Structure 1
């Protein structure tokens, strides 16, 4: 009997093969279609990708000349998107949102330079929503279909309609897939502005707020930078199927916004590499000097947008343009971008000598700063290499954001890379709990010795002189620039006491002062861990604030046991696993438009001022105030 049972384990026959339908496959492997899932705390979380997939279809209609505005409403967890394009042909309403490889974009004449070519987008939204409703309005008629998790529940008959042509999609993301999700307005804000910058004249309305851009990438850079920090006015150049905007600030690092066919390629790709290379060559040729590439690009803030036929992206989420791109059957992307810059940027600098002189001064300033750092940098790197050989500060993970994803399991690897996280902790006890509870594949831990230095107002020299900052810089792999970043999520994990809050501020100051592009591109977060554990013999509830604690006490009734966690080290590894697992709460560090980084740091991290003292006194709240606020919110 044992032999017969064992032989069954190795049977490989017709019954071993299973074909999943489109809906089952999307729900079983959502990462292949929308990247990572998440709860909305990261800008690339799935709930934003669902919105993007629907809006992309609206944008493609606009690009073809149909529909000048898009209306979006988000009420609670329900999203409604209405465009005014041609509308889905009424006989195909069900097929378009529920049959894979059904769409109008396979013939490149219909959608010359479209974002979505494989007909997957809205099907993924449908399959991953508890409720999905699509209505097409076309030439005085309309048709509606309703679904639940991709299953058709009701197909309405065609009826007469007085509505303008177009398509209306309403959906509620599935909360069994996107657990505890919430929308962060700043992420939606950035997403919608990008659509407008790339489609001048398009009007998008979100819950009554209007988004529109007249000057494309020029508007983008003006919004992303502070006017008083610019070394020269934004250079804005446009050609057929390419648009760039360039300026330099006083901050450290390089900052880029790259797009392909209206898609924000957050991970760059061939077009961005071509821009960085072509920009350096053009500058060297113009000034007839062999400047170091790092000096030319230091402190740059630039945006580049290209349109190509049938672009090849590295995954369905289209965050990185692949290397096989040829521009419309002619030159490679590298040559196309290089030729554009060598002509248009060179002409601009000849016509604008004041800008050319300011740019030259910025490059030469970077050169002087780099040479001043050279000596100490060499010593610091040697120290870091020795430390890395037996570095107890870093417990690394297996997958990193900057690893090359290849092979049959490429999509899964890309998904793991997006999940890559480094926790920056204080002290051995907190590091110990996180290290024991972490997911070794995707979560790393960097342990601080104590309070880091307040680096406000200091030069980058301090990053190399301070051993802890230097080791952190090496762990993140950001010394040579943002592109080499090893972890998608940098999570500051400190105690929720006064010392822990101070360490948070000091680390945030470090990133804002020397690596602001990490914050601007939403890679830096604060870990939220529970302040209280409320339990009785039947149930345990973890609470993140006083309001949640009071609700838990009320729910459990009687006199439950209440534990106040004063530090991360007090939370056992078994408990900690849930707080850094799929349901982890992390608060993004977001720089709002118009906020001046140096002024912000001066206010909070500079010398103690009367203004700051008054702010603290005016905003001081005691526990009772917080409880009353929570009660008012519930009422």
Structure 2
């Protein structure tokens, strides 16, 4: 029987219902906080963008952020939202000053949606505006007003304060990872020289903008002083290091466009052309850009982003009557970089040396590369190391984001994971014992070592990580000394040759339970001594306690509980206070055997320093 299709079947959702029903349209993926682009960070960013826009317009030089027990408080010292419009700004769609380009010329949040999405997706949301001793405060819950008050004789400085708690009904199990928040805060200060941001009492400030950003994010020392070029509505900083890969930071109107877009594409192409023209040599683009570290920031009116979360710029034009973004970036870079190199022959000489070194190394390994490819082709026909999945990260598929690969040690662990995985989105790659320590070796080893060559082929990252086949690369090793050592050797391999995988948040450690605590009615899997004690207290009596020594001891039926929707992952992050060189030297350098034993045995305690 055909269901009735009449007036009664048509419904109009309230604004907050629509956001709560389709949160992905407004904040991208929900996530649990283990990835830098998870929804809880987008909520934080949407509120911050409003405060940053105030600073960009010349109001308020300080912003404070406090996060405690997942409750976020953000206070700026700008003009404060006009009190009569406070309710509309927080709860009426398509309301905001940013439609009036005279007030906010080049802001990020142009759609009037951001703060409403935060409101609708928070269990508690409070906004308070102070203007010349008068204040108004409105409280909401899931987008509905729960309280309102007007205050006079307020002795606080002008500005706006927003307090929100992400709704556990929407975000389920989540946590803010401080390193991600610190990275976001630092980027805001690099892009807004002169702005002070205090996060949980720690002060962040930048005097030199993008130059500071590069120096802070370099894995080693720049081989020549950072080239810093500034123009109207455009800023570029560029240098080279000694590490593999290309490292870019791109921004539009203060928004970190993690997926690049028109402006970054233009930079990469025009940089190559300018260098070729300057040296009058037809260098290979890969040699010119090898080891490059660059930051590009542009400001445009009415930018067009390719998604609501604004991580990729799609704009072709700078303004209604301005040149294209490509021409704007290209013309500026070509002129300014060429001028700089003519005026600084020492830098030009070092850069030329770096390009020719890269060319030499590329040619030296081209022969072995060819052999390795032929070998990998033969092996891949019956490659027992890789048990692939059906959906890949580079597919145009709704579930491409879920695509992941587990790197395991030995047959028993890979067997358990293979039997319990989701064959659509989870692949398994088995290691044979301990991989080679690649610390201090050249990229030649990636082709000479069969295991690493097959891993590189499985991930599809030889040419570029743009072709990466899995969104999450999950290191799944035992929590014992050998397992920890293998974990370190793999992280060393990625840091040494494919650091972008770690920078872009693709590498994770699988947490597996250390204990199973159960009685006849209930079973708890515990990831720490504390969780084990809690489970014993809940079950009372004398529950059965099993200590898992390795992944192979966990049956496939049980493994389903740890790699499904309740999977626990620790992101491998690069600590900004420590360069890759220092990290690798400390953990994988030629230490005495005693020192290496000490490091490996204490690895579980020290894992935050590594990851």
Shared fold (TM-score greater than 0.5)?
yes
Cα distance change of structure 1 residues 618 and 519 upon mapping to structure 2, 3 Å threshold: closer
Alpha carbons 2:106, 2:253 under 8 Å: kept: yes
Separation in 2, partners of 1:300, 1:342 = 17
Pick aligned residue for 1:462 from 418, 426, 445: 445
Cα distance change of structure 1 residues 474 and 17 upon mapping to structure 2, 3 Å threshold: farther
Pick aligned residue for 2:535 from 542, 545, 552: 552
> What are the equivalent positions in structure 2 for 1:490-509 lying under 5 Å apart?
490-509=473-492
TM-score, normalised via structure 1 length: 0.90
Separation in 2, partners of 1:222, 1:400 = 35
Cα distance change of structure 1 residues 329 and 449 upon mapping to structure 2, 3 Å threshold: farther
Q: What is aligned with 1:359? A: 351
Q: Secondary structure of 1:566's match?
A: coil
Is 2:510 the counterpart of 1:531? no
Q: Secondary structure of 2:372's match?
A: helix
Is 2:37 the counterpart of 1:44? yes
Is 2:235 the counterpart of 1:235? no
Q: What is aligned with 2:290? A: 298
Separation in 2, partners of 1:84, 1:253 = 41
Q: What is aligned with 1:181? A: 174
* Residue 87 (structure 1) shift: 1.3
Alpha carbons 2:127, 2:160 under 8 Å: kept: yes
> What are the equivalent positions in structure 2 for 1:618-629 lying under 5 Å apart?
none
Is 2:53 the counterpart of 1:60? yes
The answer to which of 161-170 and 357-366 deviates more is 161-170
* Residue 255 (structure 1) shift: 0.6
TM-score, normalised via structure 2 length: 0.94
Is 2:103 the counterpart of 1:120? no
* Residue 285 (structure 1) shift: 0.5
* Residue 230 (structure 1) shift: 2.0
* Residue 312 (structure 1) shift: 1.1
* Residue 118 (structure 1) shift: 0.8
Cα distance change of structure 1 residues 621 and 329 upon mapping to structure 2, 3 Å threshold: closer
Count, aligned residues: 605
Q: What is aligned with 1:347? A: 339
The answer to which of 472-481 and 370-379 deviates more is 472-481
* Superposition CA RMSD, Å: 2.3
* Residue 569 (structure 1) shift: 3.0
Alpha carbons 1:260, 1:307 under 8 Å: kept: yes
* Residue 273 (structure 1) shift: 0.8
Q: Secondary structure of 1:105's match?
A: helix
Q: Secondary structure of 1:156's match?
A: strand
Q: Secondary structure of 1:72's match?
A: strand
Q: What is aligned with 2:329? A: 337
> What are the equivalent positions in structure 2 for 1:478-493 lying under 5 Å apart?
478-493=461-476
Is 2:180 the counterpart of 1:190? no
Q: What is aligned with 1:433? A: 416
Deviations, residues 537-563 of structure 1 (Å, cap 9, x unaligned): 232211012222122112211011112
The answer to which of 471-480 and 596-605 deviates more is 596-605
Is 2:205 the counterpart of 1:212? yes
The answer to which of 598-607 and 321-330 deviates more is 321-330
Deviations, residues 96-131 of structure 1 (Å, cap 9, x unaligned): 112221212122222211111111111111111111
Q: What is aligned with 2:609? A: none
Alpha carbons 2:302, 2:319 under 8 Å: kept: no
Q: Secondary structure of 1:176's match?
A: helix
* Residue 61 (structure 1) shift: 1.0
Q: What is aligned with 1:375? A: 367
> What are the equivalent positions in structure 2 for 1:574-589 lying under 5 Å apart?
574-589=557-572
Separation in 2, partners of 1:573, 1:30 = 34
Alpha carbons 2:219, 2:579 under 8 Å: kept: yes
Q: What is aligned with 1:252? A: 244
Separation in 2, partners of 1:317, 1:430 = 38
Separation in 2, partners of 1:224, 1:617 = 27
Cα distance change of structure 1 residues 364 and 620 upon mapping to structure 2, 3 Å threshold: closer
> What are the equivalent positions in structure 2 for 1:139-150 lying under 5 Å apart?
139-150=132-143
* Residue 327 (structure 1) shift: 5.0
Pick aligned residue for 1:287 from 279, 283, 294: 279
Separation in 2, partners of 1:417, 1:322 = 21
The answer to which of 588-597 and 520-529 deviates more is 588-597
The answer to which of 526-535 and 376-385 deviates more is 376-385
Separation in 2, partners of 1:461, 1:378 = 12
Cα distance change of structure 1 residues 324 and 332 upon mapping to structure 2, 3 Å threshold: closer
Separation in 2, partners of 1:527, 1:163 = 47
